[in-house]
Copies of this chain bind each other. A is one copy, B any other.
Amino acid sequence: MKPKLTLKQIARELDVSVSTVSKALRDSAEISEETRQKIKAFAKLYNYKPNNIALSLKNRKTRTIGIVLPEIVHDFFATVIGGVEQVANKHGYNVIICLSNNSFDREVMNMEMLANGSTDGFILSVAKETQQKEDYHHLEEVINQGMPVVMFDRVVDEIVCDKVIIDDSEGAKKAVQHLIDLNCRKIGIITTVDYVSVGKLRTKGYIEALQKNGMQVDEENILKIEDMERSEEEIIDFIKKRELDGIFAVNEQFGASAVRGLKEKGLEVPKDAVVISFSDGELSKRFIPSLSTISQHGAEMGARAAELLIERLERPVEADERFKTEVIETSLIQRESTLRTKLTSV
């Protein structure tokens, strides 16, 4: 048998993007008639038939769940996988993981590969680049092929499917309220660029918490990080320039670097300034001081996503088809980085 032609190979041969090929093959109006014809002719010549293959496999159960993730360096995604595995294994399903490395093209290719007979359905958190492009045709495609998708954490409003989220903005409010309750009056946030949906929502929660308490929002106290690699320098620099007594970091790496910045400025945590972060991983637990955090309950999120997917896979065709969005409650875990009584003077 000849090696199967992939979207990527077609794209390379015709010098267009993977996304263009994928869209052209399903006759998207976004692609010019001429390009569509060219791509379809090429695909036909080399016998590329994604939909047909998928259709012929439709009734074959693989009893495998595919997880597609942006990355796994964050402990959060590792704990989500743990939760998925636990439920999946209990129900006799295997789990396969693919990483997009936050690349749109890789996400498209991973889903193409897994949809081609390797899995019954998907659990997915979309890539940063996909959110930036707002191009979700590959998700529509697998759903149209009859494969259920459950999105979690970084979800897409436009896609109709089951979703498991935490209320990021509510979680952020809890974190900031905790700082306010400790008498912080100059609270900064270290967050991500806005096109990352969870970063945006956490920034929203930060702003709302300040406003609710009658405090001014100073744009200068908001640091938006684009590049993880260079984040520590940026954070230390930000903290040295600002006079902050409380910091809310949207992940534990940023939280750890915030503590370093404060120390370099000569401030002790939690005595002179306090730090709270988001997501409850190894770094938060082992750090000195251990980091107070908003726990996203990754394992629970993964478990719930797996349950929703398996329910849908095993549901009779005529059953209720409505999609659910489930919200997992966040909780505040107080550790050393905010462990102090109220400051009387600030």
Which A positions have Cβ atoms within 8 angstroms of B?
Answer: 1, 3-4, 6, 8-9, 59-64, 72-73, 75, 78, 81-82, 85, 89, 92, 94-99, 101, 106, 109-110, 113-114, 117-118, 232, 253, 256-257, 259-260, 263, 282-283, 285-288
Q: Which residues of chain B come closer than 8 Å to A263, judged between CB atoms?
A: 288
CA–CA, A99 to B99, complex, Å? 14
Nearest CB in chain B to that of A257: its residue: B286
CA–CA, A41 to B101, complex, Å? 46
Cross-chain contact of A286 among B94, B95, B101, B232 (Cβ < 8 A): B232
Q: Which residues of chain B come closer than 8 Å to A232, judged between CB atoms?
A: 285-286
B81 touches A109 (CB 8 A): no
Per assembly, the copies of the chain total: 2
CA–CA, A263 to B336, complex, Å? 14
Q: Which residues of chain B come closer than 8 Å to A4, judged between CB atoms?
A: 60-63
Listed from nearest, the 9 A-B pairs whose CB atoms lie closest are: A256-B286, A97-B97, A3-B61, A94-B113, A1-B60, A72-B78, A118-B118, A73-B78, A96-B96
Given the contacts A288-B259, A288-B287, A110 and B94 also touching, CB distance less than 8 Å: yes
A95 touches B99 (CB 8 A): yes
B85 touches A109 (CB 8 A): no
Minimum CB–CB distance from A138 to chain B (whole Å) comes to 14
